[in-house]
Chain A
Amino acid sequence: MKDVEGVELAIFIAVFAVVTVVGFAAARWRRGQTLMHLDEWGLGGRGFGTFVTWFLLGGDLYTAYTFVAVPSAVFAGGAMGFWAVPYGAIAYPIVFLVGPRLWSVAHRHGYVTAADFVRGRFGSKSLGLAVALTGILAMMPYIALQLVGIQAVLTVMGVTGSGWAKDLPLFIAFGLLAAYTYTSGLRAPALISFVKDALIYLVIIVAVVYIPTRLGGWDSIFGTAETALARPNPATGKPAGSLFTNDMTHWAYGTLALGSSLALFIYPHTVTGALAAGRRDVIRRNAALLPAYSLLLGLLALLGYMALAHPGTVAAVKAAGNPQLAVPELFEQVFPSWFAGLAFAAIGVGALVPAAIMSIAASNLFTRNVYAAFLRPDATPEEETRVSQLVSLLVKLGALVFVLGFDKSLAINLQLLGGIWVVQTFPAIAIGLFTRWPHRWALLAGWAAGMAYGTMTAYGTSSPTQRHFGSPLDDIPFVGHTGYIALTAFALNMVVVVAVTLLLRAVRAPEGQDETNPDDYLADADPAPAAPDDPGRSLTGRPV
């Protein structure tokens, strides 16, 4: 066990303190008449402009998973880890097509979640429930992963211990997160994401400019990485990876990118971030502006090669037996302690922001599509908000159990499983925004088929370290290549949707009521601004 890095830890704690103050203060930022309404607590007042939305969605999509797991995938496997770059690019044409329509229809009808829309569009509470439960399910391991990111940083700073004390810093970080999410709702992560992104951009730009000069330039980094990747792995006898995809991996690379890009915009936390926008054009502009983050993601991925080209980092990661530590170790060894502390704070805050949005998204889904839809149809907005606040605490507790109770490598794979699940709601949400041709029961049947196939196939994959959920890749039937299971399951889903729809039309099964009109999908906000001198609701006297 190594000693605690004092300077790094002090800076890390100072940044966390600032973030916590910002998080609580956010409740007063641009506040409406009351916080006790889901539009306020869960969607930040539905009034964010292009600038705030860019930060909020950026904070949403680029998480500790991106900062820690993507570079570590490149570190461990070379080119195959770089699929996140095409994914981060081609997701945005889809956002551009789907996002504004979802925003408009949600604005017209007051939808808070994607499942609200599905219920209204297809007149089916059960289809809405399926979409909501899928979303909540996929959120849990994703939040847990943010914790894994914080843990990686804490480990490198030497904050380790045994038993209870080992996890105490994690509990504190999460307790703070839970407290300000509870009081401030979506405004907290929105405001904190400014701090987060300023830190992240600073760290990445310094890293990408400075570290290559220490390692002899990019030529030498790629050269050393290629040699390291070509060395056979003692466990399998095969090379760890290569600098380029080959005939065996082209399909895997492409399907991982395409399958994940379908999932990106229908993840509940993305929908929450998008519906918080104040105008339709905000979404359209952001679809063009958000790829700036993907460029950042690409540079981050290359940190994996820099770690591979730095002998001290390779040795430390090998000693710890945890490739997730690649980037934190590289920072620790290359940067002076004060800057390493700043970088670790960036990763830590970068984990808290999405965790907050994800827990809000999951609790909105539960409140609207389970509680209000089935248990208490006449719940008042205030009651809904109170339920959401409580559920946001429960969701975080669930994630904490996840991260403490499960093996870390397993959690990474469950996140990829999350992608497999979420993509199965694409027909109901994204295709439903353009056409009502699919029958509601056919969508439910397709969803069930995709979920069952995807889960079972993923369960059946094994890796050298685990027997189940070992890989997101499997053979694609009829194609003869290995690909992302999410996309195969999605194809099956679509075939079932089409076949069952034709069948149900033939027997004239009841269609259900569509409460939306074609022009709802193009609607925009009224130009009239909210009253600026709104007194807001007193923040005192509320139970915390």
Chain B
Amino acid sequence: MSDTSPARVTAARKAAAGVLLAAPFLVYLAVPSYAKESPRLAGFPFFYWWQLLWVLLTAVCIGGAHLLTRRRGGAR
């Protein structure tokens, strides 16, 4: 691995990526926390819009983890 700074993934960045990747599990597996009707959004009960919203946020989390741990300029 190259020692130039942009190619290195620091421990702090790895930890932050880990948190981002764990977040969707915590949200979705806490089923009772979102199994309810209100607040409604555009006619959707909370149960439905919350889970659909988190599909997008999961993509954002993974995208963030990707950017945090990317090896820029490294040979591999």
The tally of residues in B whose CB lies under 8 Å from a CB in A reads 33
Compute how far the CA of A254 lies from the CA of B40 in the bound complex, rounded to whole angstroms.
Answer: 22
| Complex contacts, B63 vs chain A, CB 8 Å | 288
Whether a CB of chain B sits under 8 angstroms from the CB of A447 is no
Task: Indicate if the CB atoms of B48 and A302 lie closer than 8 Å.
Answer: yes
Chain A interface secondary structure, helix, strand, loop or mixed?
Answer: helix
The closest CB in chain B to the CB of A79 belongs to B47
Interface string of A81-118 (1 = CB under 8 A from B): 01001101110110011000000000000000000000
Q: Is the CB of A93 within 8 A of B24?
A: yes
Q: From A88, which residue of chain B is reached at the shortest CB distance? A: B55
B60 CB to closest chain A CB (Å) equals 8
Chain B, Cβ-Cβ closest to A284: B66
Near A by CB (< 8 A), chain B positions 24-62 give: 24-25, 28-29, 31-32, 35-37, 40, 42-45, 47-48, 51-52, 54-56, 58-62
Given known A82-B48, A258-B29, contact A288–B62 (CB-CB < 8 A) = yes
Identify A254's interface contact among B31, B43, B54, B70, CB under 8 A. Answer: B31
* Cβ of A285 under 8 Å from chain B: yes
Point out the residues of chain B lying under 8 angstroms from A96, CB to CB: 21, 62, 65-66
Count, chain A residues at interface, CB 8 A: 45
Q: Is B55 touching A295 in the complex (CB atoms < 8 A)?
A: yes
Contact A218 B42 (CB under 8 A): yes
Inter-chain CA distance A524–B76, complex, in Å, is 6
> Closest CB-CB distance, B54 to chain A, in whole Å?
6
Is A462 in contact with chain B by the CB < 8 A criterion?
Answer: no
In the complex, whether A410 has a CB less than 8 A from a CB of chain B is no
Determine whether the beta carbon of A222 is less than 8 Å from that of B55: no
Which residue on chain B has the smallest CB distance to residue A96?
B62
- Tell me, in angstroms, the Cα distance from A292 to B48 when the chains sit together: 16
Given contacts A90-B25, A218-B44, contact A285 B51 (CB under 8 A): no
Shortest beta-carbon distance from A262 to chain B in Å: 11
Asked if A217 and B62 make an inter-chain contact with CB atoms under 8 angstroms apart, the answer reads no
**Given A89-B28, A291-B62, are A243 and B55 also a contact pair (CB < 8 Å)?**
no
**Complex Cα distance A43/B53, Å?**
34
Q: Output the least CB separation between B43 and chain A (Å).
A: 3
Which of A244-252, A437-445, A471-479, A509-517 lies at the binding interface? A244-252
Closest to B20 in A: A93
Task: Quote the shortest CB–CB distance from B19 to chain A (angstroms).
Answer: 11
Closest Cβ of chain B to A101, distance in Å, is 13
- Assess whether B32 is in contact with A250, with CB atoms less than 8 Å apart: yes
Q: Which residues of A contact B54 (CB under 8 A)?
A: 86, 89
Q: B55 contacts which chain A residues (CB < 8 A)?
A: 85, 88-89, 291, 294-295, 298
Residues of B within 8 A of A284 (CB): 66, 70
Minimum Cβ distance to chain B for residue A67 (Å): 17
23 pairs of residues in contact across A and B, judged by CB atoms under 8 Å: A82-B51, A86-B51, A89-B55, A92-B62, A93-B24, A93-B58, A93-B65, A96-B66, A218-B43, A218-B44, A222-B45, A243-B47, A246-B35, A247-B32, A251-B31, A253-B31, A254-B28, A281-B70, A291-B58, A295-B52, A295-B56, A298-B48, A523-B76
By a beta-carbon cutoff of 8 Å, the part of chain B in contact with chain A is 21-22, 24-25, 28-29, 31-32, 35-37, 40, 42-45, 47-48, 51-52, 54-56, 58-63, 65-66, 70, 76
Besides A96-B65, A245-B31, A294-B58, 20 new A-B residue pairs in contact (Cβ under 8 A), listed by A number: A79-B35, A82-B48, A89-B24, A89-B54, A89-B58, A92-B59, A93-B61, A218-B42, A218-B43, A219-B43, A221-B43, A243-B37, A243-B47, A245-B35, A247-B32, A251-B31, A258-B29, A289-B59, A295-B52, A298-B48
Q: Which 5 A-B pairs have the closest CB atoms?
A: A218-B43, A86-B28, A288-B63, A219-B43, A291-B59
